Chain A
């Protein structure tokens, strides 16, 4: 198909074109209709009629030029360009890491990371939430067979938004730093990293749609109007002990029994089935704390000295960036006695390097941390996590 631009010089020529317009069998598509001699006439002509129309114009001495020689070629190129720029948009960070995202948006970015960095990143589903949302873990691996691995999770308490936001930033950081940062490169050459960015997706959605301060899961409690279990009181570690509530309406309700929450059970199953997890790191907010076991009892863990020293080193790394201070200690001595917590379970299961982080801030904004602090929080926390991961890498057990 061609598009011609016809320059009419007088009314007579305009009339000729209007005649042409009336010939329906030519299937002419006028982009600018003949109306006055002052204006050009643009017309698209189907391929098989091009010669006939040109002959007509020439025989009447009407001047024309070829605007588009091959319309299909132009359309094909445009389609190609659009696909390219769309892909480019997806592959350049059109995902803004410095803002809070919906669950769907985070899940889309997980897919995008897995595709852009497919040589080292893959996405696994380890289970489903109570409301049947998938629980997605990103696996960072350079190969091997069931290598020793580091587990990281965020957002077990849904209102702690800076944790999910930091986790997705870290995912990008790990993926893009491999091959560039010596520390991460050597780490991934020996070990795998598993990252669960949204541990409690039902709760997270609820904080967006209904109640920003929601903490627990969204499971139904038989016999109660109150919904949800505190997923960090639901692990099989001192379950039922002090520091967790037996009241379903409480924000620290432990649940009917350990691992009653599918979100918790899914992680437990994954870790048990993997069999080679060497560190368990979990992100919470707020308070700026770096803690090791125990929470369910106030006695020191066997590895107290090593964990405390490592915790202090990590806190020091965190402070080096923006001066943010983290307090280091066991859960019981630092905040309060709390039973059924995740790092107590992982530690007693045999994962020596079990740490829980409470990220920014210390109460000025609390859970409602301004988005402008997401990236600084992620950056500084990352330094602390790296310190721990390097130690795990260098101290196999």
Chain B
């Protein structure tokens, strides 16, 4: 729908599929408004779920306590690796990056972009004194239309009850030598 002087609005019907359980699906509808002219404003998004998302409390708490009880801060690289492998203990770190990158992608999307998380180049846990877990990620985003691989830094906070927050993110320069 073209809305004069405002932008383009899209009406979507989607099916959400649980990545960890292909048979678990939820229908939803969404409205996305891309603003006219100004590409620096994220599109407006309204979503309604027709059903409930699965409860993940148990897995969340296991992961939370595992990280909280690490003696040394977690550090990892190349998730997945060149061959598509993700060590099982890194899978939650991978999924967290996926969710967080969704925010970054939303903030940077236009009608002419299609972003996907290509890889986590580097992740480092940042010890905090409060109850939150903090991770400093360097990710690679793949943009389909230009086919570019864009390095992006993002700082991610997470807590089992309080969810995900991206507190800082910035696009990084690509190395010309590569």
Contacts and interface: CB of A to CB of B under 8 A. Distances in A.
Interface of A: 99-100, 207-208, 210-215, 225-226, 230, 245, 249-252, 287, 335-336, 363-371, 373
Contacts of A369: 84
Interface residues of B, number: 23
Given A370-B83, A371-B84, A251 B146 contact: yes
Given A230-B147, A368-B80, A210 B178 contact: yes
A367 B83 CA distance: 9
A286 to B, nearest CB: 9
A365 B84 CA distance: 7
Contacts of B85: 370-371
Interface in B102-143: 116-119, 140, 142
B83 A249 contact: no
Contacts of B82: 100, 207-208, 212, 368
19 contacts: A208-B82, A210-B178, A214-B178, A226-B176, A230-B147, A249-B176, A250-B146, A250-B148, A251-B147, A251-B148, A363-B117, A364-B19, A368-B82, A368-B118, A369-B84, A370-B83, A370-B84, A370-B85, A371-B84
B144 interface: yes
A215 B145 CA distance: 14
B119 A213 contact: yes
A251 B116 contact: no
Contacts of B46: none
B83 A225 contact: no
Contact of B80 (A213, A335, A365): A365
Nearest to B140: A213
B176 A336 contact: no
Nearest to B148: A251
A215 B140 contact: no
Given A251-B146, A336-B144, A213 B83 contact: no
B142 A367 contact: yes
Given A210-B178, A213-B119, A370-B84, 4 more contacts: A251-B146, A365-B80, A370-B85, A371-B83
Given A211-B178, A213-B140, A225-B176, A368 B149 contact: no
A264 B25 CA distance: 44
Contact of B83 (A210, A363, A368): A368
B147, B174, B178: which has the most chain A beta carbons within 10 Å?
B147
A102 B116 CA distance: 26
B177 A225 contact: yes
A370 B81 CA distance: 9
